[in-house]
Chain A
């Protein structure tokens, strides 16, 4: 009897244990499937979101293609103001935001370092250029109380110093916290200069200028001899005669003195001016041009703070001066007398970000496309 009771006791407990384990298992199963379902829904939503992000990326890329084409038809000047306008500011912000969202939702963009470099590079370029734009400078002033001139021009005479900058946008004047002094300005030319000769029949020669050189142009045209070169041609009257001379103190007026010997033995002296092409006598059978080709413009600059020279550089095209958060470029000059230079002043705000972005984009593109993709 006791054995029977013990058996039924054991059986009932066993049954209970089995039932409990079933319930637990069932509960566990239910729990697992709920988490799986939740996870699947989440993943599904995420995939949908990723799809939307990709479509948005494609749309913004296509939009920028169309905007670029439109901008190309506008020409540089109007395109610049178009791409800096408010609707475009919204576009740039959206593009930057989308790139950031892309990096967050696409794990591949983080896992593959080259892709991360490319996309972060683009973000840095966009962010840097937004920060360096006109609007970016206004933002800097509001948020950080940094007051910088975005871009402008300054005109400086030789031997003078200047800190005023004519601003690009509103013809206003800005002031730099230091002075820029122009020690000297010069234009450099390629050597040799050229003398171009053309007959009335249209036959032409282009000869390098050598003093004392005689150029024989054939029996029916004669000989042209280059006698002398002037930097600043001027005329003075001596003993009732006009005498040309080189005047270093006057405005540049480059000229050549040539002697034309016609086939009939007559000789005539002529002056050929670089600045006044086509200056010929009606009886002349030849047209002459004096050509000099500019090789460089050089401004010798000094930066002065409290009347002390703190920086110095000879700037030329392709070699600007960088000081105090600004770049100074050779922009224009006094074409008549060479007495002043015009510099372009550009703030360097955001430039480091742009350059970092350039570097990352280049490294990323080379890494991703060359090292990974090209092998068959």
Chain B
């Protein structure tokens, strides 16, 4: 637990508070106020991100503090896109999740500024991490829908949620693929091999394969086993979380990605 008594910390805490208030007010059916608070929280998160960028003099996507800060920022445009372009539901859930995304940045990880080590000085650094962050947000939304589809009882509602999950994964999957391939290409330039069998690489491959399995399973059975479709999605998120946290934080695996703690 690390409380940050800095301007940056303050901005993050304001954003978390606004996101939470937005969730509560929307939940209590005051949608206009909720939207306003959500936007206010987003602006605060953007300011925190911009401040960090200025502070470290490179795009802040180097460690988990910066990645979670970024996730807290991009949650807003992603949920806006999903609502207005895809007509997807779960807008109030997005607000709650945006707040949860900022919690590790606000309370868990250290904000000590770091210089970029030689391996990270590449133009592929930003697209590789940014594309992954974006895909994780879509996959998280998909998982949220999948859990919802497991909870609802009506056949029609169930099919709707299943379909919404599928559409979210259809957006997230190419981003996940792109992230994997950009990482692989970067690995070739920096470490000499496009695949190093590093634990983080293997977990990210496993998460990608879970979605590959999901698509093949859904092609085979359609919506006949809709609950199993949802379980695939949830499994995918579990794998993503392991990729994101466990490898970095545990001492179980040491690997090339160990600087990204």
Chain A residues near B (Cβ < 8 Å)? 51, 54-55, 57-58, 61-62, 64-65, 68-69, 71-73, 75-76, 79-80, 83, 129, 151, 190, 293-297, 316-320, 327, 329, 331, 344, 346, 351, 354-355, 358, 361-362, 365-366, 369-370, 373-374, 376
The docked-state distance in angstroms from the alpha carbon of A296 to that of B192 is 16
Task: Say whether A365 contacts B173, CB under 8 Å.
Answer: yes
Could you say which residues of chain B place their CB within 8 Å of the CB of A344? Answer: 192
Could you show 14 A-B contacts with beta carbons less than 8 Å apart?
A55-B220, A61-B209, A65-B206, A68-B205, A72-B199, A80-B197, A151-B193, A293-B115, A294-B117, A297-B118, A317-B118, A351-B194, A362-B178, A369-B171
B177 touches A57 (CB 8 A): no
Is there an interface contact between A346 and B184, defined as CB atoms closer than 8 Å?
Answer: no
Given A75-B254, A80-B197, A319:B189 Cβ within 8 A: yes
Min Cβ gap A121→B in Å is: 10
Query: Which of B87, B121, B173 is in CB contact (< 8 Å) with A317?
Result: B121
Bound: A366/B170 CA distance, A: 9
Task: Tell me the complex Cα distance, A373–B178, Å.
Answer: 18
Alpha-carbon distance A317/B86, docked complex (angstroms): 42
Q: Check if A362 sits within 8 Å of B177, measured CB to CB.
A: yes
Check if B1 is an interface residue, CB within 8 A of chain A.
no
Q: Which residue of B lies closest to A343 (CB)?
A: B192
- Counting chain A CB atoms within 10 Å of each CB, the highest count among B177, B189, B197, B255 belongs to B197
Contact A320 B189 (CB under 8 A): yes
Contact B170 A72 (CB under 8 A): no
Further pairs besides A72-B202, A361-B177: 18, Cβ < 8 Å: A54-B219, A58-B213, A58-B220, A61-B216, A64-B205, A64-B209, A68-B206, A69-B206, A71-B199, A80-B196, A296-B118, A316-B118, A318-B122, A346-B192, A346-B193, A365-B178, A369-B174, A374-B167
List the interface of chain B (C-beta within 8 A of A): 86-87, 115-119, 121-122, 166-167, 170-171, 173-174, 177-178, 181, 184-186, 188-199, 202-203, 205-206, 209-210, 212-213, 216-217, 219-220, 247, 252-256
Docked pose: A151 CA to B193 CA in angstroms: 10
Q: Is the CB of B87 within 8 A of A376?
A: yes
Does A374 lie within 8 Å of B247, measured CB to CB?
A: no
* Shortest Cβ gap from B39 to chain A (Å): 25
Instruction: Please state if B252 and A73 are interface contacts (CB–CB under 8 Å).
Output: yes
B213 x A65 contact (CB < 8 A): yes
In chain A, what residue has the closest Cβ to B181?
A358
Specify the chain A residue showing the minimal Cβ separation from B198: A76
The answer for the CA separation of A327 and B222 in the assembled complex, in Å, is 46
- How far does the alpha carbon of A79 sit from the alpha carbon of B197 in the complex, in Å? 6
Chain A residue at minimal CB-CB distance from B173? A369
Q: Indicate the member of B117, B170, B185, B202 with the most A CB atoms within 10 Å.
A: B202
CA distance A319 to B190 in the complex (A): 7
Give the docked Cα–Cα distance between A331 and B193 (Å).
12
A232 to B191, CA, bound (A): 31
Instruction: Chain A residues near B190: list those with CB within 8 A.
Output: 317-318
State whether A72 touches B118 (Cβ < 8 A).
no
B199–A75 contact, CB under 8 A? yes
- Specify which of A65, A80, A129 lies most central, judged by the most chain B CB atoms within 10 Å of its CB: A65
CB distance from B212 to the nearest CB of A (A): 5
Does A58 contact B189, Cβ atoms closer than 8 Å? no
Q: Which of B170, B193, B217, B219 contacts A373 (CB 8 A)?
A: B170
**Nearest chain B CB to A142's CB is how many angstroms away?**
24
* Complex-state Cα separation, A80 to B199, whole angstroms: 11
For B200, give the chain A residue with the smallest CB separation: A72
- A79 to B255: give the CA distance in the assembly, Å: 11
Question: Which residues of A have CB within 8 Å of B247?
Answer: 72
Q: Given the interface contacts A295-B115, A296-B121, does A361 sit within 8 Å of B197 by beta carbon?
A: no
Interface contact B253-A73, CB-CB below 8 Å: yes
Q: Inside 8 A of B116's CB, which chain A residues have their CB?
A: 295
Chain B, Cβ-Cβ closest to A50: B220
CA distance A358 to B184 in the complex (A): 9
Evaluate contact between B197 and A71: CB separation under 8 angstroms: yes
- When C-beta atoms are compared, the residue in chain A nearest to B167 turns out to be A374
